[in-house]
């Protein structure tokens, strides 16, 4: 089982904090850090955030949300084994050719440690500010995945679609293993079907109040309908029973998640911190207002009591 820490860049948005978290996670045996993104944060918006009952993003317009790829590059340079997953990157907002270049460069320079988690977005006001139509964002995302994979597959690549077209283009360096795993994020049926059609992985949103088993089954069924091996699509989920302080046996909780089809479980990094807030620097106080003074010890404890026992 792989273990990941979520919301890495929002809780440790500066250089010292990012490096500290990455080194601590790697030493404790975590497989990956998961980062999130919003390019801009509207002061006023009517779109509903789907992962909180309030319908509002946690934090506020002044919240530091570092660009996920740049944050990943910085943290990757400090580590040697740890992987990095965007969870998620809002793909329709990106230029797929530029993104293909950025991701391949990052993957090549990090030694092949990049996973691309994508979503189609929910914040209409953000799309409008960036200048990308909110409508047809799902179809745009599907096409962008195909276009990027075409560029990664070979030189002199061509692609013709509704949203992007190019002829005889080469984009180098290529990803270290020929492509970058693409993980489909989201808690909707559309996301589950997208993962089945074209994903290397499926990451149902951990904060959504929905049953995951039907979504996983839909993903697997869709994969089979498209002639794909559903077992090869890695499922990433939360695991509340494994969180520090949860009742019950965390090892058993992870094994039950594995039995349901999970190949990677994610924990919010805040689960390994405590309150109240203290200190004036990012090294001690996170965006969440939690104290990070014992971060290394808490991550190492989880590594010894859960990761080592599950994978030992």
Q: Give residue-wise pLDDT tens across range 90-147.
A: 999 999 999 999 999 999 999 999 999 999 999 999 999 999 999 999 999 999 999 9
How far is it between the farthest Cα atoms of the chain? 58
For residue 177, what are its two tokens?
A: 């293993």
Report the C-alpha gap between 72 and 66 in whole angstroms.
10
Quote the domain boundaries for residue 141: 88-180
Bridge partners, 119 (sequence order): 90
> Chain-wide mean pLDDT for the chain?
93
Nearest CA to 39 among 145, 128, 104?
128
For residue 114, what are its two tokens?
A: 């990049």
Q: What is the mean pLDDT of residues 293-308?
A: 95
Percent of the chain topping pLDDT 90: 85
Res. 206: pLDDT tops 80: no
Residue for token digits 């559903």?
Answer: 230
Cα 146 to the chain's mean position, in Å? 19
In a domain, 294, yes or no: no
Res. 42: pLDDT tops 90: yes
Tell me how many helices (H) and strands (E) the chain has: 11, 11
Q: What is the mean pLDDT of residues 34-48?
A: 97
Beta-carbon neighbour count of residue 128 at 10 Å? 13
In a domain, 116, yes or no: yes
Cis peptide before 173 (omega within 30 of 0): yes
In a domain, 231, yes or no: no
Q: How many domains does the chain have?
A: 1
In a domain, 158, yes or no: yes
Give the pLDDT confidence score for residue 306 in this predicted structure.
98
In a domain, 205, yes or no: no
**Is residue 263 classed exposed, middle or buried when 0-12, 13-18 and 19+ CB atoms within 10 A define those classes?**
middle
Nearest CA to 290 among 21, 1, 4?
21
In a domain, 133, yes or no: yes
> Is-above-0.85 flag for pTM?
yes
In a domain, 162, yes or no: yes
In a domain, 293, yes or no: no
As a whole number of Å, the CA-based R_g of the chain is 19
Q: pLDDT tens, 259-282?
A: 999 999 999 999 998 764 433 334
For residues 102 and 69, the answer to whether their CB atoms sit within 8 Å is yes
């Amino acid at each position: 089982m792989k273990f990941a820490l979520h919301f890495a860049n929002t809780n440790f948005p500066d250089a010292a904090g990012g490096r500290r978290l990455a080194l601590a996670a790697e030493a404790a045996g975590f497989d990956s850090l998961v980062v999130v993104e919003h390019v801009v944060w509207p002061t006023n918006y009517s779109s509903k955030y789907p992962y909180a009952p309030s319908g509002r993003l946690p934090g506020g317009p002044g919240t530091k949300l570092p660009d996920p790829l740049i944050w990943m590059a910085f943290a990757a340079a400090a580590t040697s084994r740890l992987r990095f997953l965007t969870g998620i990157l809002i793909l329709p907002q990106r230029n797929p050719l530029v993104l293909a270049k950025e991701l391949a460069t990052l993957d090549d320079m990090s030694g092949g440690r990049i996973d691309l988690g994508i979503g189609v977005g929910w914040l209409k006001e953000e799309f409008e500010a960036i200048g990308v139509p909110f409508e047809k964002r799902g179809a745009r995302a599907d096409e962008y995945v195909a276009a990027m994979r075409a560029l990664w597959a070979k030189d002199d690549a061509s692609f013709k679609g509704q949203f992007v077209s190019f002829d005889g283009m080469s984009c180098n360096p290529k990803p270290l293993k020929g492509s970058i795993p693409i993980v489909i994020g989201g808690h909707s049926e559309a996301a589950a079907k997208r993962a089945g059609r074209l994903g290397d992985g499926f990451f149902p949103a951990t904060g959504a109040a929905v049953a995951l088993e039907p979504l996983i089954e839909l993903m697997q069924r869709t994969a089979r309908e498209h002639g794909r091996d559903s077992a090869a699509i890695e499922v990433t989920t939360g695991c509340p029973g494994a969180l520090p302080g949860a009742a019950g046996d965390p090892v058993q909780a992870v094994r039950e998640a594995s039995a349901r089809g999970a190949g990677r479980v994610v924990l919010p990094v805040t689960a390994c911190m405590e309150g109240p807030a203290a200190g004036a620097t990012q090294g001690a106080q996170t965006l969440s207002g939690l104290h990070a003074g014992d971060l290394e010890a808490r991550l190492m404890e989880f590594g010894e009591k859960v990761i080592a026992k599950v994978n030992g």
